[in-house]
Amino acid sequence: MKGISHFASGVAVTSFFPWAIQAAQESNPMYFILGGAFGLLPDTLDFKIYRFFYKHDLYIEPDPLKPDPQSIADQLAASVKAASESKKLVRVKCSTIRMGADAWQQYVIKFDTETDEVLVKFGPVVNTGQVPIPGASKMEGEIGRAKIPCKLFQSYDATTRVDIFDGPTFGFASDGKGGVIMHFLPWHREWTHALTVGLFFGIIGTLIWDWRAGAVITAGYSVHVLEDQLGFMGSNLFWPFTRIRFPGLHWMRSGDAMPNFGTVWLSCLIIFYNLYRAMPSSIYHFNLLHVLFYGAVVPIGLFKLALWFVNRGKVAETGPIELEDEWGDKA
């Protein structure tokens, strides 16, 4: 999920603690600040700190003067082979191809588990806004392919687009049975996305402030970790006792608009209701079911009805969740 969703969730879970609301009524927002901040912290640690210290075994750096998709495919296949033979995690960084001050050669990596191949297809040259530059690419459509020497398993997208700024990292690990498991962004959701780490920060918060602050910190951190389990990548929930990511539920993607909007909206409703409950007296009286029905079910129902009205008569396009448009037919 996006940062605003995790922040809102952290604030919402804080509103369940009576002492947090009491402190806020006394002009002390500390608990709500802690809940929101630690709701953001796991991704902040990953993207702002840890990724820059993560060590890679291989850097694939295409020559911008003579980029070659076959070379990229060969190096990726060789990395899978190395992981299978060494039984160790092989971490590979795929660098972007900068063609000028505001020009990047786009390429797409596809791991085809049906044919046991890795394919690399060059796309257009794009600017930093990821908009294709007409006539700039002389290699668009060129494909490199290399045979993967063992069975490859993956839980994320089969295709990955590489274009601007920083490229992706793949981690290849032996499954102990002759196959290799591919991890996308192995530095992400490793130790930072663990419930045990949330508990650790809660203990630190208890030592600095009190047990109430520790409870808020643990709850804010943990709700982030649990929300991420709804996606595809999963998290290492019990680091350092476990070393693997527990698979996500595949219900949503981090950038999906509706889940993010729904999370923020629901968090606001929860905050509103918990603040209402703490009021010594009120003119209107309602319960949580009223709030959810009138604040969530009815608006969402009207939104769905409006979508149906706008799209009525149109044939819905369905297909696998994959970047099919990057390849068209079978490459």
Query: Can you give the pLDDT at residue 314?
Result: 66
**Alpha helices of the chain — where are they, by DSSP H?**
3-14, 18-25, 30-48, 69-86, 195-208, 211-228, 257-277, 288-292, 298-311
- Looking at the DSSP bridge assignments, the partners of residue 109 are 120, 160
Q: For 214-244, what is the HEC assignment?
A: HHHHHHHHHHHHHHHCCCCCCECCCCCCCCC
Residue whose structure tokens are 């369940």: 16
Query: Can you give the pLDDT at residue 146?
Result: 97
Taking the CB of residue 280, how many other CB atoms lie within 10 A of it?
5
Q: How far is residue 212's CA from residue 220's CA, in Å, rounded to a whole number?
A: 12
Residue whose structure tokens are 């969530």: 296
Q: How far is residue 152's CA from residue 158's CA, in Å, rounded to a whole number?
A: 11
Q: Are 145 and 118 in contact (CB under 8 A)?
A: yes
Compare 254 and 315 and report the one with higher pLDDT. 254
Q: Are 231 and 254 in contact (CB under 8 A)?
A: yes
Per-residue pLDDT reduced to its tens digit, 181-211? 999 999 999 999 999 999 999 999 999 999 9
Q: How far is residue 10's CA from residue 7's CA, in Å, rounded to a whole number?
A: 5
Per-residue pLDDT reduced to its tens digit, 30-89? 999 999 999 999 999 999 999 999 999 999 999 999 999 999 999 999 999 999 999 999
Per-residue pLDDT reduced to its tens digit, 213-238? 999 999 999 999 999 999 888 899 99
Per-residue pLDDT reduced to its tens digit, 133-179? 998 888 899 999 999 999 999 877 779 999 999 999 999 999 888 89
Per-residue pLDDT reduced to its tens digit, 205-219? 999 999 999 999 999
Distances from the Cα of 110 to the Cα of 144, 146, 270, 326, angstroms:
10, 11, 42, 10
Query: Can you give the pLDDT at residue 239?
Result: 95
Query: Can you give the pLDDT at residue 170?
Result: 95
Query: Can you give the pLDDT at residue 327?
Result: 46
Q: How far is residue 49's CA from residue 240's CA, in Å, rounded to a whole number?
A: 19
Range in 4-8, 93-97, 196-200, 253-257 the model is least confident about: 253-257
